[in-house]
Structure 1
Amino acid sequence: MTPERTRPTHILASIATFAGIGALLALHCGSLQVTAQQVQRTPVEVRLIDGAVLRGQLQSITDKHITLQAGLERIAKPLTEVVQIAFSADSGQLGVAPEAQQAQIRLTDGTTLLAQKVLLRPQQLECQLFSGKAISLPWDRMRWVLLHAQDARARTELEQTLAKKPAQDVVLVLSRDGQAINAFSGIILGSDEKGTRLNFRLEEDVVPIDPARLRGMIFARRAESKNADGVRVMDRFGNTWVAKNIAWQNDRLRLDTYDGLSAELPYAQIATVDLSQGRLAYLSDLEPLRVEEKPILANIWHYRRDRNLAGGPISLGQRVYRKGLTVHSRTVLEYHVEGYREFRCIVGVEDSVSGPAKAVVRIEGDGRELFQATVSAGDKPRELALPIEGVVRLRLIVDYGDDLDLGDHVAFAEARVIK
């Protein structure tokens, strides 16, 4: 979206309207009460680096081994062979309703938090997570903040602005008539003592922004660190913690993040623990070297990471996948994969497509064809394991099929490269 082209003196009137002292930036949607309990024989799903999946009751876990009870069989595996542990729980007990008012905060270490209440302070952001945990986040630890994260319009504006790699900080502000979200480039200075305004340097002026109309902040001066060796813990309140240290206990996991946060999560609150630690990389977590998107008939559908093209979860063969890429024909995505030995994914037409669809999928390594097939709506998804040792550039190509580009929503679920 193109920023409003008004001079700073007019922007004061455009974006600095206050509703008085009550215009604190507070997002409330009802606190969730969670009681920590002793979790015994927790059901888990364990994914190994060779692609095998183990399911059973968790018996014990240490920094060396994990032990499951699967029926009458007791299974022990070294943690060095484990890439992910998924904890089963009643999804009705925990979680965040999609329509709940919420703020999403991305830190410089990759940690992403979902808050039900946010208050601006001069040196930090005061947040209350949906678990009830209160934390303070210094301004210099934040990469971006999306307020009203449940609003698809605000999320789209944030994603489009991030894709431009702005050289300055950016604020996203709701227009006075509520019809548009406008992006302004400058320097975020922090808030006043009471949190009733965000001070923003726009050219030569310091402009006070009303928190009630603030929709997002991007801190362009703070590059996001790459913590490939970090353990990624996703909890059931929408938070992803990137940890440099973890400690397994009888019924909970303790962790410390690279940005200095600490958390103690009962197993009942954990969704997944990613232990790949540099041995495996999901393509949805990597930046492509090249993106080409050229539809025939439809408007351009930009590729999506970890979501389908409509913004919902990726689904193939009636199974939902947490990670992956979804693209529309014709799309070319190219990735740097030097040092990895294998590419794995499940590919097919995404389940959200209701009509006919047929697309040609090709996968190339340094220009050499590794896989080609036509995928159609209703077909059984294909599970691929392709050797890529020595390959530098991996290219995913989804081309038009017999039905031109109608319905060509192709998903590469769990698309990952393995060392």
Structure 2
Amino acid sequence: MQRFAAARPSIEQRIVQAANAIEHSRRAAVNLASEAAEQGIRPFGPLARHGDGVVNEIGTAALPERVEPQVETRADAVVLTVRRAGRVVLDGVRLGIRVGGVDLDAGSVLLRSHVREITDEWTARSGKATGTHRYTHLETVHELRHDSGVEWQIHVRASGDGVAVRYALARLEGHGRLDADRTRLTFEPNARVWALDYQTWYETPRFGADLAELRPGAYGFPLLVRSPRAGVYLLLTEAAIDGRFSGAHAEIEGGGEVRFTLADEPVEITRGPVTPWRVFMIGDLAGIVESRFVDELAPAPLDSFAGAQWVRPGRAAWSWWSDFYSGAQLHRQRHFVDVAARLGWEHLLIDCGWDETWVPEIVAYASRRGIQVHLWVVWHDLDGPENLAKLALWRSWGVAGIKVDFMESESKDRYRWYDTILAETARLGLHVNFHGSVIPRGWSRTWPQVIGYEAIRGSEYYVFYQDTPLTAAHNVIQPFTRNVVGAMDYTPVAFGAPGRTTSDGHELALSVAFECGITHFADDVDAYLAKPDAARFLAELAPAWDETVLLAGDPDHEAVIARRHGDRWFVGGIATGPARRLTVPLDRLALGPADAWIVGDGAEGGLVSDRRPVDDKLVVDVADDGGFVAIVAARGTRLHRAVERPEHTAPRVDPPVQLLGPDGTAVLRTGGHLRLPPGWSAQHLDGDRWKLNAPAALAPGRAGVITVEMPGEDGVPVVAHARLFRPLTPGPHRLSAMTMVAFDNESGPIERDQSNGGGNPGDGRRMSIAGTEFDDGFGASTPSRIELYLGGSADRFTARIGVDDETPGTAARMSVHADGAELFSADVRAGEPPLDIDVDITGAAALSLRADTLPDHPEPAHVDWASGRLHRTGTATTTPAER
């Protein structure tokens, strides 16, 4: 075999020799520290207890253990060996790739090696520890030549947390083909593994098993292994992925072999790196849980995005889980804002069902309490330039972020889509939370606006799969695996979950044990208010963390995590198995005498709270599959500080609704900052007057929403909106093409060009009244109200109305109102033919279309405003725009 060495030391090798000399000195320091520990001077971490007093060492040495990788070539392989503190912890790791049908790891020779020290830093806006982080890696680039003449590289990074490897083709001309990643390693049969069956959205349950018990097959990263032979834990995953690559997963085969397998085989490649980093974290559990190695390996952000001070971690109210169709109900979203403000939370997520008609209104309502609004969207609705432009429109309304869903792919093409979304949300200042997604691989460093990923079987599985509740065992594994590599949007604290086997204390503890940049709480906000101790703790819960520490546990028994914000530590403990007493050491918090407020499992169920002094440990009783939370601070420190968010006055906007003039301009009076939709422009006239210019593409009856911002609570601007409408031109105009000013609807949003359907948007069918079908119109459900602004630019309204055939046996009263006066009404019944109406609306500024239940038919009826048309003959009176 040929080692990566030469007869005469090169400059690179002399650097390594010098580094080794430093390392020997460091080891001597570690040995002295060990001797000190034997004499009662303890530089190591605490002992953690699980079960009935079983002790598990999870502490980290005060001085980091240097990880030393060594790579060697053989006739048929390239092999990596890794030592930690002089002990072999990884042995016989096969390295290599197959390119253009050639296995480069067989028959390659070393040309040269380059060693460099990489010292860098970045500022984390969310995650395990916000603030500026500095790190140092030792990187070796090994250049090889295959017998075929192909030159390739192996990049090896080493830090105190582990080793990472990636492959590169620095001299590739044009395009090539990566057929396979041949990285593989073998563990002993009695190694313990914590894994999940692989799927591209990572939502299968995680479980623990001895390696010999695992069936051959595909398993997802991160994969945690306890190696008895090496005496360490290893976490396998990836880092620094983008649209040049496809993702990878683990394939476990007989004999304990684990190999990296590409999602795409083959992958088109170009010059440079051809794989992301293959990451091998090495150490004890505390070192792995607290590691930021994945982020350290990711590229630095562009200078223009590095600060990203607008990124705001925190807590979010979310109504979808507890009330599936509430995303279409403005009044429900207002209620969630009200309670979120009472609890001091920062965000509101509106899931499936929201409508552009009222999103600006809820954004304005929430902004007055310092709460930012995020919108759910399916990934393909943002695919392509035309769809991507929606992001700029939503941002112009004051929307703060998106939850984008159902990507469900590790392909290179999908990662190119991710690249586009990441760049555009960063440019616009939008937070992004990926659902139905891949696992984190360091994007929160490169793109600080990434505040969450799903990639976990979380609380939504109570909704979709009520017969298979989430287990405590599944939950306890997460802090040691999935959550190690980045933000995890599990949507915790689901008190109302059907079939739940976890205790209330366990559910509440997930709010601390699990980390996400923005934690979206699953349950109805009223469910939290119904449990005062839970509400009080969730109000106190910090929006971001300065430090994260594993206090106790292992993936088979419990996880006790402490996260610091300022001078307070928030502790969350989750357990699996029978009720027991947990004794949690606190010496790593370095508090000395302290006070603790603890909320945990009551003897008769539910939650109980207790305030007590503590010193070096916290003793808590937990129920079956139980848990607890605590706030701990130095004695005498105030533990409770939560306050309700104050309400601010909205900016002045005059007028809030108006018509554009014939030249497409209007004048708006306001003292605030303007945020314009795409294509619009503004000119400051004088004082508080602004001249707004609409794009030529704005169609008659459509409106642009102008956002006015003033400084507000917690750095969140207080906003109000103006709607500027293009007047109708002579002739007929399709009703369903108009911009609604507002609507109310019993079931879901008002549907355009289809029946009401159910509670989701776009779930109707072709409108049908007594068998007569229609191509366009509004579909609604009683009671409902559709508000339109005409500004006097129409003189007739015609439509064919009736009860849609999807609600047989129902009836409704349908009516037309103009400027508050009823102009028409009629009772319509299922099975009756459509009723033709023609209503004079000359001079009307506001038009309201209503459908109400009848006393003898209180059940909802789905009604159609089919073939609706607004007519202008050329003589209609319009409200002039101010000049």
Calculate the TM-score normalised by the size of structure 1.
Answer: 0.42
Structure (1 or 2) with the greater strand fraction? 1
Quick one: higher RCO (CA 8 Å, sep 6+), 1 or 2? 1
Structure (1 or 2) with the greater helix fraction? 2
